[in-house]
Amino acid sequence: MASPLASDTVGPAGRPRLVLVHGFAQTRRCWGPAVEALAADHEVVVVDAPGHGGSAAVDVPFEEAAALLGRVGGPATYVGYSMGGRLCLALALDQPDLVTGLVLIGASPGLANPAERAARRAADDALADRIEAIGVPAFLDEWLALPLFAGLDDGTRFTAERATNTAAGLASSLRRAGTGAQPDLWPRLPHLAVPTLAITGAGDTKFTAIAAAMAASAPPGRIEHRIVAGAGHSVHLEQPAAFVAEVRSWLESRTDL
């Protein structure tokens, strides 16, 4: 069955496939130069996650959103940034036969504490209400001003592309697949069967600590954590050459991919 998610494929057909899944309030066209670099010798599929871009009308819960990525990407190494990483991790845990490898950029398995998860869900719901109230352009002004995105400049914010999202789509994504709505995946990490690379920016202390904890929770050697200097949360946009180099060296080191 075909996936309802919008996607584009670049690079030589028949080469090892990479499926790239963007972060919240982005689209499949927000990956910067990493796509062209990786497509030199890979078949690269870029996907609009549910609630975003050409998939704005797709309103599904977290687990189904992850499954839809697998339907559009097929067997591949999945590369997910932030929200996209959370979805790709869920897919790898649910369908390890489909995910041959996993690259997580500034991603997490969710919140283990039920009270924290409930508070985050309430915050996500409130943010969804605000997006619907003020509209996407005003929301993006606030969103991109967060310290999390301080490392982005005019060329890497993709403000115009982000503005093609709809308020209804972004709101549904927060309510259905936000960190508060996501199941706690930490207890499942000891069963992670997919070779995984976790990439974080040296300036992103929160997600660097999360990645280290993930590596300690998974089977020994299952998650390799690499830290990129001179980058914050958006490693692939802030240091694209270093990001591609890390992904390439990891892929080349894996005889099982």
- Within a domain: 95: yes
**Residue 11: pLDDT above 90?**
yes
Average pLDDT over residues 213-238: 98
Q: Is the pLDDT of residue 257 over 60?
A: no
pLDDT digit string (tens) for 19-57?
A: 999 999 999 999 999 999 999 999 999 999 999 999 999
Check residue 3 and give its pLDDT. Answer: 79
Across the beta sheet with 17-21, the strand order is 7-10, 43-47, 17-21, 76-81, 99-105, 196-201, 223-228
Asked whether residue 93 is domain-assigned, the answer is yes
Q: What number is the average pLDDT over the span 67-72? A: 97
In a domain? residue 2: no
pLDDT at position 171 over 60: yes
Where do we find the tokens 């690259």? 103
Average pLDDT (174-203) is 98
Cβ atoms of 189 and 214 within 8 Å: the answer is yes
Q: Is residue 105 a part of any domain in this protein? A: yes
Give the helix/strand (H/E) hosting 36: helix 34-38
Looking at the structure of the chain, the number of domains it has is: 1
Inside any domain, residue 1: no
The reply to whether 240 falls in a domain is yes
Number of residues written out for the chain: 257
pTM, whole model, 2 decimals? 0.97
CATH number at residue 159: 3.40.50.1820
pLDDT in tens, 81-126: 999 999 999 999 999 999 999 999 999 999 999 999 999 999 999 9
**Residue 59 lies inside a defined structural domain of this protein:** yes
- 254 confidence band (pLDDT: 50, 70, 90): confident
What mean pLDDT, rounded, does the chain reach? 97
Q: What is the pLDDT of residue 256?
A: 62
Contact 65, 50 (CB under 8 A): yes
Range of the domain at 41: 7-253
Amino acid code (one letter) for 58:
V
Quick check: is 199 in a domain?
A: yes
pLDDT per residue as tens digits for the range 186-199: 999 999 999 999 99
